[in-house]
Amino acid sequence: MVRSLLSQIDDPADLRQLETEQLPQLAGELRDFIIDVVATKEGHLGASLGVVELTIALHYVFQTPKDLLVWDVGHQAYGHKILTGRRVDFHTNRDLGGLSGFPKRAESVYDTFGTGHSSTAISAALGMAMASALKGVDTKHVAVVGDASIASGMAFEALNHAGVSGADLLVILNDNAIGIDPSVGALKDYLTKTKSGKVTGRDNIFEALNFDYSGPIDGHNLELLIQELNRQRSLSGPRLLHVRTLKGKGLKQAEQDQVRYHAPGKFDKYTGEIPASDTSELPPKFQDVFGITLTELAAKNPKVVGITPAMPTGSSMKIMMDAYPDRAFDVGIAEQHAVTLAAGMVTQGLVPFCNIYSTFLQRAYDQVVHDVALQKLPVVFCLDRAGLVGKDGATHHGVYDLAYLNCIPNMILSAPMDAIELRQMMYTASQGLNQPIAIRYPRGRGQLRDWQVDFREIKLGKARVLHQSSKIAVLSLGSIGSMVQDAIVDLQFKPTHVDMRFLKPLDTQVLDEIIEHHEHIITIEDGCVIGGLGSMVTDYVSSKRGLGSVPVIHRLGIPDQFIEHGSTAELHKLAGIDRDTLTALIMRLV
């Protein structure tokens, strides 16, 4: 029986005790270990399988944690975590209180920088390298960045600076021709030519940026990787090593269907098959409601176009891309560009639906302010993954959009409670607004199966009273309103329930009626409690003081702290926006 190697490795120092001839066996064991855990625990599979050999080689050659290693995004960091003292706990990956699915400084000294959003690794590693030079510290600095991430503006900014910095920085370009969806753009075409040997000398973009370029080399050849990394470790200055890998390497299905196996959910670890499930009777995902509705709107209006920054499958923009390939655009990991591209289209009469995950719109905040809102251009922002997204954790929760958009003049902020409301808000936005609008909705399925109704316009800034009562009013914003509806059904005392639908403009008419007839107002939202619905209602009610008695406000929302990873239900309970917290508060107030 072959002796297990992985079970003997508790940190990279143990790894460096192995002979190079043993490393291919270790790679096989590491790959199997990742597959075993992710098959039942879910997570980011394909990227981590693709860099198994590279991960082993990096920790084998470089003296981590003295040498500093930064993984861009972090989708590919599972092998890194397992080899750096977290193998025994890896089964807790992405669980509440367990390991994070991304590199996290508080978790390990080997996680030198917290990542989760793309294209930050080169900047961070350059900052480390410049700090080491100032302190006179002899250490090496490595950033591993993918071919999709390196096309982002921030990565280019870092390359541009690093090339004239003289810093001791090694950038490893992990080129597998795919991010979550296949990579797009001119740089992708350039890298394809580079791999074919058609780009040489000063025609090489990285050499033009003053990087010592090497490669491309096979990222699954451990002997070659170790030889080249040893050479790189002996050098100084800005260098770039181009490595070719296969996302999903070692699992046939993951190699063949790289998009689906980026994060496949649960699957059979022996066959790789994802269990078939009948979803025909389930309500649709909000993402599919978006994609189908957008395609219908495009059929009715030739001015409608779609834009997504590298998330065509996740956002369901691909539905429109398949139907109207010349009117739906994947711009790559380039949120800033996506926003201003949409603004430019508006000036020429188009109606762009710019679909960006809520957490990633943070990366384009200035463009929203300066290029869209300031010019009052009616871009339609569809903010996917709003609210608490679950096991991806703090880097991916979309809980700040209401607050950070609320303070921008000219913006309309809406949050549909269900699939029909999402459909009708999208239709309303397509009818010719004179200012920008953001429509936010969560990840996953709603509760309505029959949602594909006839289009009708929604009056901007108008709430819906779903249940009328007295004494206590619950004001909800967004999909959390469905939970409120379910919760109050079972209560002996059923409070008033208002689906606010819009944070901006706020329906002050319905608020005046609530203030007049109720003693308590409960606001509930899946956004941060500071700056959102609770804050707006509190401010408005406070303005009525002196005109008579006003209700007491009780604000339920995301507290002023970063919420970590766990199931969505667990995190809602942790944040105090769950059914039990709401019903307990109502019963206490009664």
Is 269 a domain residue?
Answer: no
247 is catalytic: yes
- What range defines the domain where residue 333 resides? 286-440
Question: Are residues 147 and 177 in contact, defined by beta-carbon separation less than 8 angstroms?
Answer: yes
Q: How far apart are CA 47 and CA 74, in angstroms?
A: 9
pLDDT surpassing 90 at residue 309? yes
Does residue 19 have an active-site annotation? no
Put the strands of the sheet holding 304-308 in their side by side order: 328-330, 304-308, 351-357, 380-384, 437-440, 412-414, 502-504
Amino acid at site 320: M
Band of pLDDT at residue 272, cut at 50, 70 and 90:
confident
- Per-residue pLDDT at 273 exceeds 80: yes
CA angle 561, 566, 572 (to 5 degrees): 60
Determine, yes or no, domain membership for 120: yes
In a domain, 13, yes or no: yes
Check 29, 53, 335, 421 and give the catalytic one.
335
Q: What is the pLDDT of residue 330?
A: 96
**Is the distance from CB of 556 to CB of 590 less than 8 angstroms?**
no
**Residue 71 vs residues 7, 113, 436: alpha-carbon distances, Å:** 24, 8, 36
Whether residues 290 and 216 share a domain: the answer is no
What residues have CB less than 8 Å from 177, skipping those under 6 apart?
A: 147, 183, 188, 191, 192
pLDDT tens readout for residues 375-424: 999 999 999 999 999 999 999 999 999 999 999 999 999 999 999 999 99
Reading the block at residue 454, the tokens are: 């006839």
Kindly state whether residues 61 and 121 are assigned to the same domain. Answer: yes
- Both 424 and 475 in a single domain? no
Q: What is the pLDDT of residues 457-508, one digit of tens each?
A: 999 999 999 999 999 999 999 999 999 999 999 899 999 999 999 999 999 9
Which is the catalytic residue, given 188, 363, 504, 555?
363
Same domain, yes or no, for 46 and 188?
yes
Return the ∠ at Cα 582 (arms to 581 and 584), rounded to 5°. 65
229 within a domain of the structure (yes/no): yes
Query: Is 199 a residue whose pLDDT tops 70?
Result: no
Of 94, 140, 244, 247, catalytic? 247
**In contact, 541 and 553? CB cutoff 8 Å:** yes
Tokens at residue 502, please?
Answer: 């819009």
Virtual torsion, Cα 116, 117, 119, 124, nearest 10 deg: -60
pLDDT (tens digit per residue) in 108-123: 999 999 999 999 999 9
Q: Would you say residue 318 lies in a domain?
A: yes
Q: Are residues 402 and 480 in the same domain?
A: no
In this structure, are 218 and 156 located in the same domain?
yes
What CATH number does the domain containing 19 carry? 3.40.50.970
How buried is residue 204: exposed, middle or buried, by Cβ count under 10 Å (0-12/13-18/19+)? middle
> Does the pLDDT of residue 546 top 80, yes or no?
no
Asked if residue 63 belongs to a domain, the reply is yes
Q: Are 390 and 320 part of one and the same domain?
A: yes
Q: 544: pLDDT confidence band, cut at 50, 70 and 90?
A: confident
Residues near 142 by Cβ (< 8 Å), separated by ≥ 6?
A: 58, 62, 67, 68, 69, 70, 125, 169, 170, 171, 172
For the chain, the average pLDDT equals 95
423 & 493 share domain: no
Q: What is the DSSP-derived secondary structure letter of residue 363? A: G
* Residue 172 sits in the same domain as residue 35: yes
> 585 in a domain, yes or no?
yes
148 with 60, same domain: the answer is: yes
Which percentage of the chain shows pLDDT scores above 70? 99
Q: What is the mean pLDDT of residues 337-366?
A: 98
Examine residue 544 and state whether it is found in any structural domain, yes or no: yes
Q: Is the pLDDT of residue 197 over 70?
A: no
Whichever domain contains 565, its CATH number is 3.40.50.920
pTM here?
0.94
How many domains are contained in the chain?
3
- Asked if residue 120 lies in contact with residue 413, where contact means CB atoms within 8 angstroms, the answer is no
Distance CA 103, CA 105 (A): 7
pLDDT value, residue 34: 96
Closest among 519, 522, 474 to 496, alpha carbons compared: 474
What pLDDT is attached to residue 200?
Answer: 60
Contacts of 188 (CB under 8 A, 6+ apart): 147, 151, 177
pLDDT average, residue stretch 57-85: 97
Residues 411, 328 share a domain: yes
Domain check: are 177 and 317 in the same one? no
- Tabulate helix, strand, coil % of the chain (nearest 5): 40, 15, 40
Is residue 181's pLDDT more than 90?
no
**How far lies 456's CA from each of 154, 267, 378, in Å?**
41, 41, 19
* 335 carries an active-site annotation: yes
